[in-house]
Amino acid sequence: MIDFSSDIDNCLYVLHKGGIILYPTDTIWGLGCDATNAEAVEKIIALKQRPQNKSFVVLVTSERDILQYTAAPDLSVFDYLQRVIKPTTVIYEHALGLAENILAQDGSVAIRICNEEFCRHLIKRFRKPIVSTSANVSGQHPPSLFSEISDEILRGVDYVVKYRQNDIAPSQPSSIITWKNGKAEIIRP
C-alpha cells in the first residue's frame, strides 16, 4: 500500500479551516472543499470563475451517506450503481444538510460514491462529503493528467496532494445520470 497519510493529514487541516484542496479522485483531478461549508464553496466558485448558478458534484463513500444527505432517494439506484463499471454520478432530488451554493436551483444535488482509495480515506477521516469539481477555470478543458493543470489553479488552492501526480494514464470525467421511475436517464455517458 502506498503511504499517503501526510497528504491526508494536510488535506484534513485545510478542509477543517474552510480551504481548497487539489486532489486525485476516481475520475479526474479535482478541486475540493467541505461540501457543507458555503464560504469554502464560494472560494472554489471564485477560483474557477464559475457561474453562481452551476451546481457541483459531491463525493461520499457509501449508500448510507446518500441517505443522510438526500430525502427519500429511490433505493433501486443502488443496485444499478453496483453493476456499472465507470464511476457514475447520480443527481438526487431534495438535498439535505449541504451548502446551498452546491445545489442546483431545484434543490437537487449530484453525488458520487467514490471507490478510489485516497478519496475514501480522506472522506472517511473528514466525516463529511467533499466537493469535487474539475481542476480548471470554467470553460477550459478539464485536465486528464496532473501535468495539464494550469498555474492559476495550482496557485489558487491551499494544498496540492502529492499522491498520484505522476500518473500517466489519462483520466475521464464520470458518467452522470438521473434516476427516474426505476431506471437511469443518462445525462453524460
Alpha-helical regions (H) of 17-156:
38-48, 63-69, 76-83, 117-126, 151-156
- pLDDT (tens digit, 9 = 90+) per residue, 122-178? 999 999 999 999 999 999 999 989 999 999 999 999 999 999 999 998 888 999 999
Query: Taking a C-beta distance cutoff of 8 angstroms, is the pair 92, 104 a contact?
Result: no
Query: Taking a C-beta distance cutoff of 8 angstroms, is the pair 104, 91 a contact?
Result: yes
Query: Taking a C-beta distance cutoff of 8 angstroms, is the pair 159, 10 a contact?
Result: yes
Instruction: Spell out the residues 6+ positions from residue 21 whose beta carbon is closer than 8 angstroms to its own.
Output: 11, 14, 15, 31, 32, 33, 157, 158, 159, 160, 161
Run of H or E residues at 8:
helix 5-16
Give the pLDDT of residue 52. Answer: 81
- pLDDT (tens digit, 9 = 90+) per residue, 78-98? 999 999 999 999 999 999 999
CA distance 117 to 27: 12
- What is the residue-averaged pLDDT of the chain? 95
- pLDDT (tens digit, 9 = 90+) per residue, 127-139? 999 999 999 999 9
CA distance 53 to 104: 7
Q: How far is CA 42 from the centre of its chain?
A: 15
As assigned by CATH, the class of the 5-188 domain is alpha beta
